[in-house]
């Protein structure tokens, strides 16, 4: 059986190294990018780290090098020093035994070794950050006039770090007939402009799941503290007319607790969870269909078999830990061309998870303000008005007795308007009022400004240590027996788990790389799948895994 990497057009000399690294199958981005790059095309790749993009550009790049040349032939530009080192290491692994010299250059390191290596003319591939590369170029130490390959890695990150001008200067210093590959998770306008200005008819590839949320669904999020979730829910329910609402909780216990609490406060709701008998489930469905119950509180599993055509509102009381599940949940509304609303309650600990969900649906979902007491009063008023208008339009049933009472009151000298007000007051007083609960912390948990900071790194750096160690709910922490001292990086963890344990990279939560141990948060549902392996192959290393 031929090795699948050979089928992509790679030469046999790489296969042993790839096998030693545990690469038996190309990842999707490799399968798409390698043949295009080998055919000489420029490439615009939309992909994130952890997809295997280093090998996707690295192998064709290495294969195209001239072994006899003594000048820099390929330039890889990365936003950070860490990434420069990672890419260097990966390229060295792929090129092992081939006599290719790959030089990382980055700021914060003395110039001496970099200058010496460049002067000796031994570096075939230079991997670096834009600032230092430019610096070396301007000192005359780095010559790019014979470069045949340029790779811009994580272009959108470089853009947001203000490197765009440095990159154009670097590109200008290379021959226009070079081959160029650009990778970016997003394609903001300046990145597109860069591609248009400096690439020749680039082929586009996108390695991202295609399915996202449907049109017709309005998504909104609300910042709440954990203990305010129920209060927040009652506020949302009070301020909107909900035909059928599907409220998702993460656990069975929570579905029961939330449904019970809603009922206790005058909001008829039914729980739907896996412990229920089929007959009990049928009863719930029937009650919903007859309109007796408008709110269903369900777990993901229980909601699977739910056959209710018109869900007007999906409410994520607990966020799902898997962004894919978010899409399924939200897809329960706005069926058959109808419109629907999807609300999500997001707690401070779920910031990272929320960002992953936004990345998955490929849009920013706006944070709304929870309805105030005034909003709720106004909503009730307009509902009363609507009800009265409808009754007047449909015709009020004739009642001799009521007429008699009115006449008596008017004869007694009461104003008809005052009589009507008294009647409304009585009607409302007799109607069971659903209760709106007060919030413990009426202000949202974070400022708008912070939310608008696009870059996750900013928040990660500034978040207090204690919080960083906390686990997102529903996640289980696993230990890996490898860490910083072995050169492990987050992309390796994602890559290894995704390819070897076959779990979606997007579901992997926080990754903390220690000196010799790494902690990874994985959703409960995937733990068994990961632990089915006692150990993973990472490069030449066998890495043990255990439940923390």
Residues whose CB falls within 8 Å of the CB of residue 268, separated by 6 or more in sequence, listed in order: 262, 292, 293, 294, 295
Query: Cα–Cα distance between 66 and 266 in angstroms, integer?
Result: 77
Among residues 387, 374, 398, 394, the alpha carbon closest in space to that of 427 is found at 387
Q: Which helix (H) or strand (E) holds 247?
A: strand 245-248
Q: What tokens were used for 453?
A: 């900071």
Q: With contacts defined by CB under 6 A, name the span among 176-184, 413-421, 465-473, 487-495 that binds ligand AMP.
A: 487-495
- Token pair of 446 as six digits: 């974070």
Q: Mark the segment that binds ligand AMP (CB under 6 A) among 52-60, 293-301, 398-406, 510-518.
A: 52-60
Instruction: Provide the minimum distance between the beta carbon of 94 and ligand AMP in the complex, in angstroms, as a whole number.
Output: 10
Range in contact with ligand AMP (rule: CB under 6 A) among 43-51, 219-227, 268-276, 352-360: 43-51
Per-residue contact string for residues 488-517; x = within reach of ligand AMP by CB under 6 A: ---xx--xx--x------------------
Which of residues 58 and 523 has its CB atom nearest to ligand AMP in the complex? 58
In 291-391, beta strands by DSSP E = 295-298, 313-316, 340-346, 367-368
Q: How far is the CB of 154 from ligand AMP (least distance, A)?
A: 10
Please tell me the distance from the alpha carbon of residue 160 to that of residue 453, in angstroms, as a whole number.
11
Report the alpha-carbon distance of residue 226 to residue 339 in Å, rounded.
Answer: 29
Q: Distance (Å, rounded) from C-alpha 489 to C-alpha 493? A: 7
Interacting stretch for ligand AMP, rule CB under 6 A, among 17-25, 150-158, 278-286, 290-298? 17-25
Tell me the HSE value of 66 on the side-chain side, using a 13 A CA sphere: 10
Considering the complex, state which of residue 256 and residue 486 has its C-beta at the smaller distance from ligand AMP: 486
Q: What is the DSSP letter of 311?
A: B
The distance of closest approach from Cβ of residue 76 to ligand AMP in the complex, given in angstroms and rounded to an integer, is 12
Q: In angstroms, what is the minimal distance from the CB of 98 to ligand AMP?
A: 18
Residue 500 CB, shortest distance to ligand AMP, in Å, is 7
Look at the alpha carbons of 244, 249, 252, 257 in this order and tell me if their dihedral is positive or negative. negative
Note whether 46 binds ligand AMP by CB under 6 A: no
Q: What burial letters (b/e) apply to 360-384, b meaning 16+ CB within 10 Å?
A: bbeeebebeebbeeeebeeeeeeee
Residue 54 interacts with ligand AMP (CB under 6 A)?
A: yes
Whether the Cβ atoms of residue 312 and residue 243 lie closer than 8 Å to each other: yes
Asked if 22 interacts with ligand AMP (CB under 6 A), we say yes
Minimum CB separation from ligand AMP for residue 54, in Å? 3
Contact with ligand AMP (CB under 6 A) among 45, 50, 79, 104: 50
Which residue, 98 or 446, has its beta carbon nearer to ligand AMP?
Answer: 98
Out of 3, 17, 32, 51, name the contact with ligand AMP by CB under 6 A: 51
Candidates 17, 32, 49, 333; binder of ligand AMP (CB under 6 A) is 49
Residue 399 in tokens: 């009642």
Nearer residue to ligand AMP within complex by CB, 298 or 503 = 503
* Contact stretch for ligand AMP (CB under 6 A) within 19-27, 117-125, 348-356, 410-418: 19-27
| Residue owning tokens 């090998």 | 55
Does 55 participate in binding ligand AMP (rule CB under 6 A)?
yes
Q: Give yes or no for residue 340 binding ligand AMP (CB under 6 A).
A: no
Binding site for ligand AMP (CB under 6 A): 22-23, 25-27, 30, 49-55, 491-492, 495-496, 499
């Amino acid at each position: 059986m031929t090795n699948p990497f050979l089928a992509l057009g790679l030469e046999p000399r790489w296969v042993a190294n790839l096998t030693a690294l545990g690469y038996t199958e190309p990842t999707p981005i490799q399968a798409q990018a390698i043949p295009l790059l080998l055919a000489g095309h420029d490439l615009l790749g939309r992909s994130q780290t952890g997809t295997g993009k280093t090998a996707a550009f690295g192998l064709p790049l290495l294969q195209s090098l001239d072994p006899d040349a003594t000048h820099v032939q390929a330039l890889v530009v990365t936003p950070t020093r860490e990434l420069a080192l990672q890419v260097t290491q990966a390229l060295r692994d792929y090129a092992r035994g081939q006599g290719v010299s790959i030089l990382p250059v980055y700021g914060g390191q003395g110039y001496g070794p970099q200058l010496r290596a460049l002067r000796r003319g031994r570096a075939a591939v230079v991997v670096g950050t834009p600032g230092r590369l430019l610096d070396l170029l301007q000192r005359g130490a780095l010559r790019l006039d014979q470069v045949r390959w340029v790779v811009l890695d994580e272009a959108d990150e470089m853009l947001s770090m203000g490197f765009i001008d440095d990159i154009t200067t670097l590109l200008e210093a290379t021959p226009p007939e070079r081959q160029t590959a650009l990778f970016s998770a997003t394609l903001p306008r300046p990145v597109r402009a860069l591609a248009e200005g400096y690439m020749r008819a680039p082929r586009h590839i996108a390695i991202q799941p295609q399915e996202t949320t449907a049109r017709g669904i309005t998504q909104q999020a609300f910042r709440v503290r954990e203990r305010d979730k129920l209060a927040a829910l009652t506020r949302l329910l009070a301020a909107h007319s909900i035909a059928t609402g599907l409220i998702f909780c993460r656990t069975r216990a929570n579905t029961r607790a939330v449904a019970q609490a809603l009922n206790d406060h005058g909001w008829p709701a039914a729980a739907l969870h896996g412990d229920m008998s089929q007959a009990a489930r049928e009863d719930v469905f029937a009650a919903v269909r007859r309109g007796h119950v408008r709110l269903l509180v369900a777990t993901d599993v229980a909601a699977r078999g739910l056959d209710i055509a018109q869900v007007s509102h999906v409410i994520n009381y607990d966020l799902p830990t898997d962004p894919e599940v978010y899409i399924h949940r939200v897809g329960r509304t706005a069926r058959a061309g109808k419109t629907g609303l999807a609300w999500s309650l997001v707690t401070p600990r779920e910031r990272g998870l929320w960002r992953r969900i936004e990345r998955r649906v490929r849009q920013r979902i706006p944070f709304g303000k929870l309805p105030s007491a005034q909003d709720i009063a106004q909503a009730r008023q307009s509902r009363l008005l609507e009800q009265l208008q409808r009754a007047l339009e449909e015709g009020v049933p004739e009642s001799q007795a009521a007429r008699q009472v009115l006449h008596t009151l008017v004869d007694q000298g009461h104003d008809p308007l005052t009589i009507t007000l008294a009647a409304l007051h009585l009607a409302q007083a007799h109607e069971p009022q659903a209760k709106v609960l007060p919030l413990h912390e009426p202000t949202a948990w974070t400022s708008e400004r912070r939310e608008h900071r696009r870059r996750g790194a900013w928040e990660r750096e500034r978040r207090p240590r204690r919080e960083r160690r906390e686990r997102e709910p529903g996640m289980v922490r696993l230990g890996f027996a490898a860490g910083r001292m072995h050169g492990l990086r987050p992309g390796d963890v994602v890559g290894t788990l995704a390819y070897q344990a076959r779990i979606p990279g997007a579901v992997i939560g926080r990754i903390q790389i220690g000196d010799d141990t790494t902690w990874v948060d994985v959703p409960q549902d995937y733990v068994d799948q990961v632990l089915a392996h006692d150990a993973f192959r990472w490069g030449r290393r066998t890495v043990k895994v255990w439940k923390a």
